Chain A
Amino acid sequence: MRDRLPDPRRLALHVTSLSVLILLWWLVTRLGLVRPLFLPPPGDVWDAFVRANSDHPISAGSERMVRGEQNYYLWEHLVASLQRIAIGVGGGILVGVPLGLLMGATWLGVLLEPYLNFLRSLPPLAYIGLLIVWFGIGDTSKIWLLFLAAFPPITMATISGVRGVREDQINAVLSLGASRRQSLTAVLLPSTLPEILTGVRVAVGFAWTTVVAAEIANGIPGIGGLAYLAGEQLKSALVIACIVVIGVAAIALDLGLKSLEKVLVPWRGKA
């Protein structure tokens, strides 16, 4: 472990820096240095956040109640996006890990690697139009897009994990009488696991950036779709509220995966 501040002091540091940042933000808007369209004050963003999570009248004094934004609460938009990511990345893991093991251990790697690299370097926005024509405008095309964004990094990570396993270890268990299968499940997979987890973290990061693009077309409910619509209507406060939610959710997700890493591969970095 690198030396780090004890937990309470670390927390205090983060809280202070965040407060200073928000104070600066408030001051800049309060002094009228920036117009609200470009940077709304923190209070407006908070209001937009609360409004988006509650039932509220369409305007002051009106009897017509509206649910959240676009008839979904903000958290529902977030969950809808998370669902798409979970399915896309889940599919990416199911396909990416076995494919990576195959490519890392056999000649298939030589054959398929150029295609994998090609796919990996494509920006998702370039082919979302094509996916819409193939799979329609519903969730299917979005999930395909997320899958295509998620599985290459997982495969690449698995391949590099497999190639990093020392042949001696495999030969050792084989000479001790283990079957091929056992060498796979008892040696190859566990030693590749740290790399796979890193790959999953990268893939989830990709999926987050991609989901916002995927939700531009018919993306309600969806946090990316909401941010896009709000931007079109010049609702800057709501856009910033969405951005903050996207950022916080992404960090929380990454922290979750990181702690998963600690549970699953406690030996990592200690060998």
Chain B
Amino acid sequence: MKTPLRRGATALASGLLAVSLAGCVDSDRGSSSPAAESDCPWEPDDSITTTARIAWQAIPNADLVVKDLGLLEACMPKADISWVQAPSGGDVVKYYGSGDVDLGLMGSSPATIASSEPVVRDVDIAVVWIHDVIGDAESLVVKDPAITEIAQLKGKKVAVPFSSTAHYSLLQALDEAGLDASKDVEVINLDPEKMPGAWQGDQIDAAWVWDPVQSQLLAEGGERILSSADTAAAGRPTFDVGTADRGFVADNPEFMTQWAKAQDHAVEMIESDPETAAESVAVVLGIEPADAQKQFAGLTYLSAAEQAGPDYLGGKFVQDLLTTAGFLLEQGGIDAVGDEAQYAEHVDAAPAESVGE
């Protein structure tokens, strides 16, 4: 007997089957196919069979070059490497929390959050690399051409994505100019992509933001009056850092060496062959290579040797985390500022050092 019910079940089942069969879309296809069959620039290490899951973000630095050129895959042919895109550093911390990634890129603010109470109880990561020092890539753009100094922003509305490195830089700059961020200026939380609309409608007077929105606001007649390069010069640098699960680092020192070598190679490429590097970045970001190359100028890239030195991972970086923690405590991002030893525990210069060996 062919009941409507049975017919229904058959139709439904075949419909579902059709969709699932027609859609053999592989979720794990890397988000960019390698430029060519790229070779490892040094002797590949066949002995590494680690499974590594790496969280990346759409920031124009060497990490994207490594990803696009498939350097890790080429240098560790037996390793199982997967890349996961994260919309923000906060999300990368979340991914660590759920045990979904082993390495990840984040700003110095999320890295500090991950090393402070209460998040430090759930995730155990170390900063192992500095992908870039943020310079003009993040800047304060104002709408009124009469405003040339940050002090003139008194009573104005400034947009910034909260908890970001830009938020940190803005509050530092306001503080330096003697303005109270909670009284003198109206600082509002806004995602970058929503800023052009708010700007157009005169709902904000200024924004501290990165590309492509920064370029967009500048093109619309905005003026850059300060950038993260200025706050860095004033002793409050912000970074994009590479982090790794501490257990993973302890178990896989050879992997970390190869990883750091690949990063170092890509950093060198940005310096010596920016066209090729920009092409890789452009492929991953889906932008024009010329735009990618322009964005390089807003960030400072450090070689492994520089990173391992006393100005960065080998020394002062712990202080930078501590300062950032003080700021985050005021903002309510963390529960308590740990002591210096606690932050030192979450900085590991060994992979960067191993590149030179």
- List CB contacts (< 8 Å) of B88-103 with chain A: 91, 94-95, 97-100
What mask results when residues 198 to 229 of chain A are scored 1 for a CB within 8 Å of chain B, else 0?
00000000000000000011101100000011
A86 touches B95 (CB 8 A): no
Count of chain B residues with a beta carbon within 8 Å of a chain A beta carbon: 51
Q: Does A179 contact B (CB under 8 A)?
A: no
Contact status A138-B27, CB under 8 Å = yes
Question: Do A190 and B4 form a contact, CB below 8 Å, given A58-B279, A59-B289, A233-B287?
Answer: yes
Is B19 in contact with A218, judged by CB distance below 8 angstroms?
Answer: no
B70 to chain A, nearest CB (A): 13
Assess whether A193 is in contact with B8, with CB atoms less than 8 Å apart. yes
Binary interface encoding of chain B residues 79-119 relative to chain A, with 1 for a CB under 8 A from any of its CBs, else 0:
00000111100010011011110000000000000000000
Binds B, one of A6-14, A22-30, A62-70, A169-177: A62-70
Could you tell me the distance between the alpha carbons of A38 and B195 in the complex, rounded to whole angstroms? 12
Scoring B100, B191, B212 by chain A CB atoms within 10 A of each residue's CB, the highest score goes to: B100
Q: How many residues of A contact B (CB 8 A)?
A: 52
Tell me the bound Cα distance from A37 to B191 in angstroms.
Answer: 16
Query: Does B5 contact A71, Cβ atoms closer than 8 Å?
Result: no
Q: Are A217 and B25 in contact (CB under 8 A)?
A: no
Whether A76 touches B85, Cβ cut-off 8 Å, given contacts A132-B94, A136-B100, A260-B11, is no
Docked-complex contact B216 and A264, CB < 8 angstroms: no
Interchain CB contact under 8 A, B8 and A217: no
- Asked if A62 contacts B4 (CB within 8 A), the reply is no
Given A64-B35, A87-B20, A263-B11: A231 and B193 within 8 A (CB)? yes
Closest 4 CB pairs of A and B: A79-B23, A86-B19, A83-B23, A80-B25
B-side residues, CB < 8 A to A, are 3-5, 7-8, 11-12, 15-16, 19-20, 22-23, 25, 27, 29-33, 35, 58, 84-87, 91, 94-95, 97-100, 191-193, 196-197, 200, 212-213, 216, 279, 282-283, 285-290
Known A186-B3, A233-B193; 17 more pairs at CB < 8 Å: A38-B197, A58-B288, A58-B289, A62-B279, A66-B32, A69-B286, A70-B31, A70-B286, A71-B29, A80-B23, A80-B27, A83-B19, A86-B20, A90-B16, A136-B98, A221-B27, A260-B12
